């Protein structure tokens, strides 16, 4: 099986320097617990997922379309879920995160409203996992530990609350009046301790741009602890930009308002789009300035400092496990301990599985090639992490989101979008788009490559579990196969809904994406306008493109004919479906957002905030709370980027923050 970046508009994209491996047979690399190799050898082949390919090049290279049918599985995801439910397991943890987010985590009829002093802190991470015996912040290698106890140390001077999220406050059951407390900015800048918190910085490693980087860790993020609400939901609170830790290396541990506004807004915007993500409770300024060289060009400048309070059930990453496996010897036991911790607190349904023939999977024709997920909880966990990751990436592709820095230390084991740096949503449809200036030479993390990179990262994660002898080669291979199948299932379902079709039609969608790439059509606005097309084959040819004229700009006669040809076929499919126009329009608008957090909207909010006006941050937050609604009067937030939005620092950003 291969996954080729379906969005690729250039043949060269298929030649990007990505390691390859085979999923349909045994792995080319062998996992040896005693020799944990983090940098793939030249023989390590990366599995390319079947993806819709935009065949715009005249090149002769053979490409496997992404939307080709995935390999048949012995048991579907749906049937697996059904079997688990029949065993009286709790619902999938990923769904739990989504469901409680959609419901704001509380029963609004009898909403609990707590003061900050009444939050129920649990701090299981510190209590149950090995910690660093030292508490200083001197940059150093931290061995045999998952965390270091450190306190926020960022200097503040009259800190101010910029904005806060009402829906996140409901998850924590926090009384909204608490945000008006005079000491609130002091508490959430770290200047004053929160009663019951037990701050620490997490130790982890990771692959950065495909190369093993060794120890990384929370260099400027300090977790305050975990809060349990009245429904026993666990929420970890973390201050990003709160000061130095042992993992800061030679950095200052601080964050600027520019990057903090982006992370705060995008965390909440992604949630409201229905995409799994870490959340953001609030954003405060520190009142101090931070020196940053935004373009790495030797011209640093002072920028306002800020701290964002991030919220998630857990901030565990792939790199949280990799760092301990890389050190081998006694640290391999920490991989198991940390896996047990994650399963116990965040995947409890896996602990409750019993042996079942229905959860056995045939992974090939070889003898003894059956994987029984109920006989090894770590294998079941690896498969679920892989499927959550695949589902997440499929959702990114559906809304045109590009993360920008998909290093393994930026991959959540919960399948959440994590660490918002130089991210970007597609404006004009460009499969090679990367919002990260650091990524420009090879575009490793461009939009088209995200499904492949997700799989590459899963390969590193399963390799880590193999090194700790938690899973074997067949189980690791099966987890990666499940990534490919789950990605295809979810992506095809998403694209089918975006077009308002009753079934997935490969050629129709492939041709559409080709047309969009050729004419650089705005991704978001096109799909929103597409719902205005009527299922009426009798519409005169000269009127067929009228519903799309706002996005089909400056196209010549040849391209106009190409679009007319596509619309005709599309209308035929709509008419054959029998779905009434208004019903289809409503369902399409429910999955095709009108409002996305375009980079220029972030920048406008940043520019105002840097002048002390926080109103635009709050307005953008409010608009992004209902991205699928028309919101009369807010149309300016759905406009195409203005000319100034294409300057460096707006459409593309560096990792400097």
Tell me which residues are annotated as active site.
409
User: How many other C-beta atoms can be found within 10 angstroms of the C-beta atom of residue 95?
Assistant: 13
For residue 269, what are the contacts with CB-CB under 8 A and spacing of at least 6?
596, 597, 624, 627
Q: Are 171 and 100 in contact (CB under 8 A)?
A: yes
CA 639, 447, 385, 241 dihedral sign is negative
Beta bridge partners of 200: 223
Give the residue carrying structure tokens 């769904």: 95
For residue 431, what are the contacts with CB-CB under 8 A and spacing of at least 6?
5, 7, 8, 9, 10, 13, 54, 446, 447, 448, 517
Could you tell me how far CA 499 lies from the centroid of its own chain?
23
DSSP strand pairing (201-202 vs 401-402) = unpaired
SS3 371: strand
Give the number of C-alpha atoms closer than 13 A to the C-alpha of residue 327, restricted to the C-beta side: 23
Tokens of 5: 């970046």
DSSP label at 527? H
Distance in angstroms (rounded) separating the CA atoms of residues 93 and 134? 34
CA 31, 32, 34, 39 dihedral sign is negative
Write down how long the chain is: 657
Q: Are 103 and 307 in contact (CB under 8 A)?
A: no
Phi first, then psi: give them for residue 520, nearest 5 degrees.
50, 50
SS3 361: strand
488, with CB counted inside 10 A (0-12, 13-18, 19+), is buried
Give the residue carrying structure tokens 């741009």: 209
Q: Are 259 and 287 in contact (CB under 8 A)?
A: no
SS3 637: helix
Instruction: Give how far Cα 209 sits from Cα of 393, 438, 446, Å.
Output: 18, 10, 12
CA 65, 69, 74, 75 dihedral sign is positive
Beta bridge partners of 304: 289
Beta bridge partners of 578: none
Distance in angstroms (rounded) separating the CA atoms of residues 521 and 496? 19
Beta bridge partners of 425: 401
DSSP label at 87? T
Exposure class string for 611-643: b at 16+ Cβ within 10 A, else e = eeebebbebbbebbbebbeebeeeeebbeebee
């Amino acid at each position: 099986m291969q996954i080729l970046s379906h969005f690729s508009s250039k043949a060269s994209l298929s030649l990007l320097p990505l390691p390859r491996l085979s999923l349909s047979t045994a792995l080319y690399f062998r996992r040896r617990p005693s020799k944990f190799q983090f940098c793939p050898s030249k023989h390590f082949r990366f599995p390319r997922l079947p993806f819709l390919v935009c065949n715009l090049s005249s090149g002769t290279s053979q490409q496997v379309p992404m939307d080709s049918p995935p390999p048949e599985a012995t048991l579907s995801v749906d049937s697996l879920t059904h079997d688990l439910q029949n065993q009286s397991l709790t619902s999938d943890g990923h769904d739990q995160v989504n469901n409680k987010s959609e419901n704001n985590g509380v029963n609004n009829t009898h909403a609990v409203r707590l003061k900050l002093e009444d939050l129920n802190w649990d701090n299981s991470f510190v209590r149950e996992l090995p910690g660093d015996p030292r508490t200083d912040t001197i940059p150093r290698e931290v061995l045999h530990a998952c965390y270091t106890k450190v306190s926020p140390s960022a200097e503040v001077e009259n800190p101010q609350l910029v904005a806060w999220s009402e829906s996140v406050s409901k998850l924590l059951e926090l009384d909204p009046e608490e945000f008006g407390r005079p000491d609130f900015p002091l508490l959430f800048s770290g200047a004053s301790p929160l009663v019951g918190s037990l701050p620490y910085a997490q130790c982890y490693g990771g692959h950065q741009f495909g190369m093993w980087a060794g120890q990384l860790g929370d260099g400027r993020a300090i977790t305050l602890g975990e809060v349990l609400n009245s429904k026993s939901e666990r929420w970890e609170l973390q201050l990003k930009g709160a000061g130095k830790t042992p993992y800061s290396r030679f950095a200052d541990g601080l964050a600027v308002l520019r990057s903090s506004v982006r992370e705060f807004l995008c965390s909440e915007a992604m949630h409201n789009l229905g995409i799994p993500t870490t959340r953001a409770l609030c954003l405060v300024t520190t009142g101090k300035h931070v020196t940053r060289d935004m373009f790495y060009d030797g011209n640093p400048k002072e920028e306002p400092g800020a701290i964002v309070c991030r919220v998630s059930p857990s901030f565990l990453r792939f790199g949280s496990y990799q760092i301990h496996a890389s050190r081998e010897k006694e640290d391999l036991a920490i991989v198991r301990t940390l896996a047990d911790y994650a399963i116990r607190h965040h995947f409890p349904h896996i602990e409750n599985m019993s042996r079942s023939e229905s959860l056995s999977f045939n992974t090939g024709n070889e003898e003894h090639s059956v994987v029984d997920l109920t006989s090894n909880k770590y294998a079941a966990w690896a498969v679920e992490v892989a499927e959550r990751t695949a589902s997440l990436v499929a959702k990114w592709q559906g809304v045109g989101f590009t993360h920008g820095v998909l290093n393994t230390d930026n991959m959540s084991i919960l399948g959440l979008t994590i660490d918002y740096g130089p991210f970007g949503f597609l404006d004009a449809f460009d499969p090679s788009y990367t919002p990260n200036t650091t990524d420009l030479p090879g575009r490793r993390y461009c939009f088209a490559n995200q499904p492949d990179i997700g799989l590459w990262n899963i390969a590193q994660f399963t390799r880590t579990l193999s090194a700790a002898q938690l899973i074997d080669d067949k189980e690791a291979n099966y987890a990666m196969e499940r990534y490919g199948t789950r990605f295809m299932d979810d992506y095809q379902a998403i694209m089918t809904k975006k077009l308002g079709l009753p079934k997935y039609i490969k050629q129709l969608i492939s041709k559409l994406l080709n047309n969009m790439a050729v004419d650089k059509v705005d991704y978001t606005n096109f799909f929103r306008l597409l719902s205005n097309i009527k299922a009426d084959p009798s519409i005169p040819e000269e009127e067929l493109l009228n519903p799309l004229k706002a996005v089909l700009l400056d196209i010549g006669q040849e391209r106009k004919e190409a679009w007319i040809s596509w619309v005709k076929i599309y209308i035929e499919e709509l008419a054959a479906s029998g779905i009434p126009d208004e019903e289809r329009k409503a369902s399409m608008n429910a999955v095709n957002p009108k409002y996305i957090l375009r980079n220029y909207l972030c920048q406008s909010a940043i520019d105002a905030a840097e002048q002390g006006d926080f109103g635009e941050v709050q307005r953008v937050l409010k608009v992004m709370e209902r991205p699928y609604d028309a919101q009369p009067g807010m149309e300016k937030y759905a406009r195409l980027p203005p000319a100034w939005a294409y300057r460096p620092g707006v459409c593309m950003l560096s990792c400097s923050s």
